[in-house]
Every structure is written in structure tokens, then in C-alpha cells.
């Protein structure tokens, strides 16, 4: 490890700062699927950064686009001024979204995309005279970023605790069910009835008070929670029946993670809005977006008097030209290399079979997967928390993963090859035997 001047000034996010500074893990550069640590070690990036580096690290095409855009138009206000690359990127993006989601509201992150989607939902309900629809429904174990709207609809207690009072929101039960679905390959078979809880919640609160339901098609940060077969379709039916908007938070599930541009396409369920970020620029430059059903956007815009601002919301860096340039180059790579479909093909099948070969290893109580997302859940015999230790052992053995409690989560770059998958599985199997045999 190099001798850094000081680590005292950077307050690291979602990190045990004291523990980290006692044993830092410092990455100096990255290429393809590999991170290179400051001690010269090569680390397999089994989480594609933070579920965002879908096309792998160090893509020349994106770097060139960023550099060229920085010299052409580095910045211009998105309020009352336009730039062509913003319009071009929005037009390009909606080629990948479900049929009726053709309007793009740009943000800088997934958290901001969620806040924007919630505000768009309220603006829409107001614009069509349904001011009483002010409440949201999220889900237990959901992660919708860290801003106040996101933690209100989110369902991870540590992220909410101590930050109240929050927005009026209730929560559906999560769909993780190890008793019935452990070691399911792909979507679990049991649990569609959990969608019925939405009917109960809507009745309990009165559907006329609900603006929107927001769910991640597959929750990543909550521990890779998969929807039971038919569950998302059922939510869609209930939302339509009760005149409630449905938002899919696809910050993780978008951009090829599940073998299609979006989970909505893969599962053939069309929400009213999709939130996106991360893979939209391959993680290179911060950018998020909300894809909005045309009628929602038109209703909000047409409700305001001619010449007035219709939606009092936006960011200094909405549609930042450099982020748009990075995003356009990212889309080119996805198309040229067929990356959006790749997880649905042979490599996704190999991923599934390889990951499930861990069934029976000591300490492992579940393996779950879809596309190129996966999780291996551990349980120590004495009930102690082992996830952080496993994450550290993985790093020592040359692999970067995420631990959510005792769940080890994977979302490798979509360029992953079989030999990398073998390394992931061998590393985890060795650790399981070392720690629990």
C-alpha cells in the first residue's frame, strides 16, 4: 500500500470509515473486468463497480466522446437553453424503452431519478385534478437511493432510521422466501399471492389517496430479491384497475443486466415510468433519467398556462453535455457488441449453472440468479454476521463483491467470459469451505 498523504478528509459514503482506514482497499486503475489495486494485485470486478460498469472498464470510445464533448460544449444551462446532444441522447434513449415511454427527464443519479419520478407522479395527479392522490407505496427491502423521497418509499431500515418524518408511504411485503424458493433458478415459482397485498393496501388507504407504486423489478441493493413468476404483471393489473401509477426503478435492472434493455421489456410489463442511471453511461459520468409515459408528460405540460414553467423541478447538470456524450458512446457499444441481449444467452445460462453448483457448499443457504445478476446467501451456524468477512476474504483472494448482510451479491460486467465465472465460483467455494467446513 502506498503512503497516502492523509485519509482524514474524505468522509466515505456507505463505508465503515474507521475500519476502512485501518485496512484500506485502494484501486488505482481498471480495464475490462479487472481492477488493479495499489499493491499491484489484479481484482476481478464481480459487481461491475456498483452495478454500473456494464460494458467493462476503460472503454476508449467513451473516453474519446467525453474528451471531444468537453472541448466542443463543456456546459450550458438546461433551463431555458437547449443543446443538441441533450435532444439527441433523449431521442436515442427512447428507442430502448417500452412503447409508450418516450419522454426523458434527466437527472445526475439514480437517487435523483427516483425523487424526480415521485414528483412527476404528484405533478401528474395534480394536473389532472386528483390532488388527493399524494401517498406512495414502496416495498420492504427496496432500495431507491438515499434522498428523502427514496428513503420514504425504500424498505431498508438502516437507511430510514433516524431520518424521519418521511413522505407518506406504505410498503408491500418483500418477495424473498427461502423456505419455499431457496435455490430457485431464475424467477421463483412461489409467491405471486404477495402481489395481492397491494389490493389490501390500496383498500386500506383508499386508492384515491395513492399517487404511485414504486418497485424495483429485481432489487439489487436489498440483497437480490427476485419477483415470483407473474408478480409484476399482477401489480400492473392492480395499478391500472385502481388508477394508480406504476414506477419501475430500473437503476440496476436496466441496460442489459437481465438480457434486455430493461426488465420491463424482458418481463413484458409496461410501467408508467422507469428510473434509470448507472449503466446509462457505463458508470463513467454521473447521469440518471426518468422515462415517462407520453400522456403523463403531456398532461403536466398542457395543464400550465402558455408561457409558464410547467414543472418546477430540474438540476443544474440535467442532460450535462459530457454525460450525454458518454451515454451516446455507451449506447453505441451496447449495440455494436450485442451487450443488451448477452445476459439472456449462453453466458447467462452458464452463469446460472455455475452459480448453482455452489448448492451444498458449507454455510450456503441460497443461490439465486437472473440474467447476469446473482446472489449467494450464507448463514453462520452461530447466527453471527459473516457477509463483511466474506467480502474481505473475496478481496484478499482477488475478487470484489458486495455484501448485503450475509448475502454476497454479483452483477459482473456484461462482457464477462466463462473463465471469469469459474473464478468467481471457485473463490466462493474455497471461502465457504475455509470458513464453514
* Residue ranges that bind ligand PLP, judged by CB under 6 A: 51, 109-111, 114, 143-145, 216, 220-221, 249, 251-252, 277
Quote the least distance from Cβ 391 to ligand PLP, whole Å: 16
Indicate the residue among 115 and 361 with the shorter CB distance to ligand PLP.
115
Quote the least distance from Cβ 314 to ligand PLP, whole Å: 17
Quote the least distance from Cβ 216 to ligand PLP, whole Å: 5
Which residue's Cβ has the minimum distance to ligand PLP? 110
Quote the least distance from Cβ 133 to ligand PLP, whole Å: 23
Quote the least distance from Cβ 275 to ligand PLP, whole Å: 6
Indicate the residue among 105 and 393 with the shorter CB distance to ligand PLP.
105
Among residues 374, 389, 379, 363, which one has the least CA distance to residue 425?
374
- The 3-class secondary structure across the chain, one letter per residue, is CCCCCCCCCCCCCCCCHHHHHHCCCCEEEEEECEEEECCCCEEEECCHHHHCCCCCECCHHHHHHHHHHHHHCCCCCCCCCCCHHHHHHHHHHCCCCCCCEEEEEEECCHHHHHHHHHHHHHHHHHHCCCCCCCEEEEECCCCCCCCHHHHHHCCCHHHHCCCCCCCCEEEECCCCCHHHHCCCCCCCCCCHHHHHHHHHHHHHHCHHHEEEEEECCCECCCCCECCCCCHHHHHHHHHHHCCCEEEEECCCCCCCCCCCCCHHHHHCCCCCEEEECHHHHCCCCCCEEEEEEHHHHHHHHHHCCCCCCCCCCCCCCCCCHHHHHHHHHHHHHHHHHCHHHHCCCHHHHHHHHHHHCCCCCCCEEEEEEECCEEEEEECCCCCCCCHHHHHHHHHHCCEECEEECCEEEECCCCCCCHHHHHHHHHHHHHHHHHHHC
Indicate the residue among 98 and 110 with the shorter CB distance to ligand PLP.
110
Indicate the residue among 274 and 431 with the shorter CB distance to ligand PLP.
274
**Is 411 within 8 Å of 373 (Cβ atoms)?**
yes
Indicate the residue among 144 and 266 with the shorter CB distance to ligand PLP.
144
Quote the least distance from Cβ 252 to ligand PLP, whole Å: 4
CA distance 250 to 53: 15
Quote the least distance from Cβ 221 to ligand PLP, whole Å: 5
Quote the least distance from Cβ 50 to ligand PLP, whole Å: 6
Indicate the residue among 184 and 411 with the shorter CB distance to ligand PLP.
411
Indicate the residue among 391 and 425 with the shorter CB distance to ligand PLP.
391
Q: Is the previous residue joined to 292 through a cis bond, with omega within 30 degrees of 0? A: no
Among residues 413, 417, 279, which one has the least CA distance to residue 350?
417
Quote the least distance from Cβ 144 to ligand PLP, whole Å: 5
Indicate the residue among 317 and 356 with the shorter CB distance to ligand PLP.
317
Indicate the residue among 221 and 399 with the shorter CB distance to ligand PLP.
221
Quote the least distance from Cβ 294 to ligand PLP, whole Å: 23
Indicate the residue among 86 and 286 with the shorter CB distance to ligand PLP.
286
Amino acid at each position: 500500500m502506498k503512503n497516502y498523504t492523509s485519509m482524514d478528509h474524505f468522509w466515505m459514503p456507505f463505508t465503515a470509515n474507521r475500519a476502512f482506514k485501518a485496512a484500506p482497499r485502494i484501486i488505482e486503475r481498471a480495464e475490462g473486468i479487472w481492477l488493479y489495486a495499489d499493491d499491484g494485485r489484479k481484482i476481478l470486478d464481480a459487481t461491475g463497480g456498483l452495478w454500473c460498469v456494464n460494458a467493462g472498464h476503460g472503454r476508449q470510445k467513451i473516453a474519446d466522446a467525453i474528451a471531444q464533448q468537453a472541448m466542443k460544449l463543456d456546459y450550458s444551462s438546461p433551463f431555458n437553453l437547449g443543446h443538441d446532444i441533450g435532444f439527441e441522447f433523449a431521442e436515442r434513449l427512447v428507442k430502448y424503452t417500452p412503447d409508450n415511454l418516450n419522454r426523458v427527464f434527466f437527472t445526475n443519479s439514480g437517487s435523483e431519478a427516483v425523487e424526480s419520478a415521485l414528483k412527476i407522479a404528484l405533478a401528474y395527479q395534480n394536473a389532472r385534478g386528483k390532488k388527493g392522490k399524494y401517498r406512495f407505496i414502496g416495498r420492504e427491502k427496496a432500495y431507491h437511493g438515499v434522498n428523502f423521497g427514496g428513503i420514504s418509499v425504500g424498505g431498508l431500515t438502516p437507511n430510514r432510521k433516524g431520518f424521519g418524518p418521511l413522505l407518506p408511504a406504505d410498503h408491500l411485503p418483500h418477495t424473498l422466501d427461502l423456505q419455499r424458493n431457496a435455490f430457485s433458478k431464475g424467477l421463483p415459482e412461489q409467491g405471486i399471492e404477495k402481489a395481492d397485498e397491494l389490493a389490501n393496501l390500496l383498500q386500506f388507504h383508499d386508492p384515491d389517496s395513492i399517487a404511485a407504486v414504486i418497485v424495483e423489478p429485481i432489487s439489487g441493493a436489498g440483497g437480490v430479491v427476485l419477483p415470483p413468476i407473474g408478480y409484476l404483471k399482477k401489480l400492473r393489473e392492480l395499478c391500472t384497475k385502481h388508477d394508480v401509477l406504476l414506477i419501475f426503478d430500473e437503476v440496476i435492472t436496466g441496460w442489459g443486466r437481465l438480457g434486455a434493455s430493461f426488465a420491463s421489456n424482458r418481463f413484458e410489463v409496461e410501467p408508467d415510468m422507469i428510473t434509470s442511471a448507472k449503466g446509462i453511461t457505463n458508470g463513467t459520468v454521473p447521469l440518471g433519467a426518468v422515462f415517462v409515459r407520453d400522456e403523463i408528460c403531456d398532461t403536466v405540460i398542457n395543464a400550465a398556462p402558455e408561457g409558464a414553467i410547467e414543472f418546477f423541478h430540474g438540476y443544474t447538470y440535467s442532460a450535462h453535455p459530457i454525460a450525454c456524450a458518454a451515454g451516446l458512446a455507451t449506447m453505441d457499444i451496447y449495440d455494436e457488441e450485442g451487450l443488451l441481449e448477452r445476459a439472456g444467452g449462453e453466458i447467462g445460462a452458464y452463469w446460472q449453472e455455475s452459480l448453482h453448483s455452489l448448492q451444498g457448499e458449507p454455510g450456503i443457504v441460497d443461490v439465486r440468479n437472473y440474467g447476469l445478476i446473482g446472489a449467494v446467501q450464507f448463514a453462520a451456524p452461530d447466527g453471527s454476521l459473516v457477509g463483511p468477512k466474506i467480502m474481505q476474504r473475496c478481496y484478499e483472494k482477488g475478487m470484489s463483491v458486495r455484501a448485503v448482510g450475509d448475502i454476497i451479491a454479483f452483477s459482473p460486467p456484461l462482457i464477462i467470459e466463462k473463465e471469469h465465472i469459474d473464478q468467481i465460483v471457485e473463490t466462493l467455494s474455497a471461502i465457504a469451505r475455509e470458513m464453514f467446513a
